[in-house]
Amino acid sequence: MDVRETEEELMVHSYQRFGLVISRGSGDRLYDPSGKEYVDLMSGYGVAILGHGNRGVLEALERQFMEMDIAHASLYTPARAQFLREFSSILPWKSSMTYLGNSGTEAVEAAMKVAFKYTKRRKFIAMERSYHGKTMGSVSLTHSQKYRKSFSGLLYPEVTFVPFGDAEALRRVPDLDSYAAVFVEPVQGEGGVNIPPGEYLKEVREVCDDNGILMVTDEVQSGMGRTGKWWAHQHFGIVPDILTAGKGIGGGIPMSATSGRKEFMEVLEVGEQSSTTGGNPLACAAGTEVIRQLKGGLLERVDSIGRVLRDSLTETVGDHRLVKEVRGMGLMNAVELRIRFLPVLMSMIDGGAIPLYSGINTIRLLPPYVITRESVEIAASAMEGALERQVASAREGGA
């Protein structure tokens, strides 16, 4: 069976494909069917935080599967209780409650419901260049026209977008006290690994406090240690009212969480939010193992190896004339180019590293937290080689 042809025939064409087949993964490496090896700088869009084939997750899943594989949340079950206890220990509130779902977009939808019901207000503020998911509520909070334009009549209209990082623009929004929530990614992911000015989130917090608006930090990408702290908002000295988590939270098993101060989260009554597989024992067991490994030293590693990666990129390509900026926090990093990302991304893949992208001219790197120094070097030289090939082909094209 030709994998690529079959997927092209039978799967919807709504994904940007990178053109290659990956059939095996181990640690921070991926392999195609011929055995060609790649450094994984995408980790399944930030999911494989513990790397591929993690023993601890495998053992947790196996144990859980034999013990109690499926239990809907109408039944209490130890795996869920244990996850909730562990998860609450890494949340920024003394007294919190959590809704468990399966994907990031669901987590955002649940946050919208809580804010709507708690405040009895129906309008939301979101940021330019934001990304919150693709179901109707979350895509309504997502800024990019690319994701919205075909569905304008379906989207929730009561969303005001303000420029990310500009507190004055937020203050100028008319009738602030008619808004239920501000949704903000503390570090924007899809939008290009955008780090806000130092005081920005404090100012957002202040506007929310002054107007009775709930502050929701969407940490689906930036959370679970990705920036070197449990939550990216912790770098900015604020505490949100609600936060969303997803991607790597379940060690590769689909899982997400919407958490907040108890007083907000407890507005949800029986039937108002649920999911058949949300909070299932397998996801919970894997999630507990993820937290255990992060607490066991992996979280600190994100900060140190993230610096190594950024230094290495800055050294090899920081001064390159096709590079505008190298930036990032922990293992959430980007190289903004002066040209379109696609040929550079494809050329990096040829050079043995698979990165992600943002917008039209940014290469994004979200490697597993177990990425080695050796892989960092391969990644940086794949980037350098890709840029050199661009320069060479531009020269040929010009000659």
Q: Which residues bind ligand PLP (CB under 6 A)?
A: 103-105, 108, 131-133, 185, 189-190, 218, 220-221, 246-247
Closest distance of CB 311 from ligand PLP, Å: 25
Query: What b/e readout covers 217-244, taking b as 16+ CB neighbours within 10 angstroms?
Result: bbbbbbbbbbbbbbbbbbbbebebbbbb
CA 243/CA 249 separation, integer angstroms = 13
CA atoms within 13 A on the CB side of 7: 12
Closer by beta carbon to ligand PLP, 134 or else 295: 134
CA 283/CA 298 separation, integer angstroms = 20
Closest distance of CB 357 from ligand PLP, Å: 14
Helices vs. strands in the chain: H and E counts, helices first:
14, 15
Closest distance of CB 83 from ligand PLP, Å: 18
Closest distance of CB 233 from ligand PLP, Å: 12
Closer by beta carbon to ligand PLP, 47 or else 348: 47
What is the chain's Cα-based Rg?
21
Closer by beta carbon to ligand PLP, 82 or else 275: 275
Closer by beta carbon to ligand PLP, 163 or else 296: 163
Say what angle helices 78-89 and 281-293 make with each other, to 10 degrees: 30
Query: Position 70: which residue type?
Result: I
Closer by beta carbon to ligand PLP, 225 or else 385: 225
Closest distance of CB 140 from ligand PLP, Å: 13
Give the contacts of 383 (CB within 8 A, at least 6 positions apart): 313, 316, 317, 335, 344, 348, 351, 353, 355, 363
